[in-house]
Structure 1
């Protein structure tokens, strides 16, 4: 897999991504409920712009991170999906 902003090849396991997201979320205060988080992720899973089952093709964020943040929205062009 390669990073959205570069051509460097990145090999990261799902477990490593989950750990990274979990660590970063510890630094955040404004989080959505677990139910809303799951709903947002379902939209992401159905999105044709989801890359590698983890990354938003529009902003480059790990969807598990962005979907948990209350102050973020879906960056889908032409209208957010959540």
Structure 2
């Protein structure tokens, strides 16, 4: 299977500052059950090694910011061949 270049709806000019990313995580997780710090760090480590990570922040397979997706307890990895975490 050929690797898709780019993610759903993004361009290389899309960059999210650490401050904005932190704020987006805060907004997205408000009132929702979140993963423990240990689980979050494990998930992020998997995402950082994934070929689908783009711009250091975005999942190519679902278009989500990985910091948000990894923080939500009920999230799962969208990697199409074998999810890296659940």
> Structure 1, residues 6-54: CA drift from partner, whole Å, max 9, x if none?
56x54532321221112221232x2111100000000001111100000
Where in structure 2 are there 5+ consecutive unaligned residues? 1-5
TM-score w.r.t. the length of structure 2 is 0.78
The aligned residue for residue 32 of structure 1 is 35
- Which has the higher relative contact order, 1 or 2, with Cα contacts under 8 A spaced 6 or more apart? 2
2:7, 2:54 within 8 Å by CA — same for their partners in 1? no
Runs of 4+ in 1 over 4 A off after TM superposition: none
Q: 1:59 to 1:34 in 2, by over 3 A?
A: same
Question: Normalising by structure 1, what TM-score?
Answer: 0.82
Could you tell me which residue of structure 2 aligns to residue 4 of structure 1?
8
Aligned length: 80
Query: How much is the aligned-residue C-alpha RMSD, in angstroms?
Result: 2.1
Q: Which runs of 5+ in 1 are unaligned?
A: none
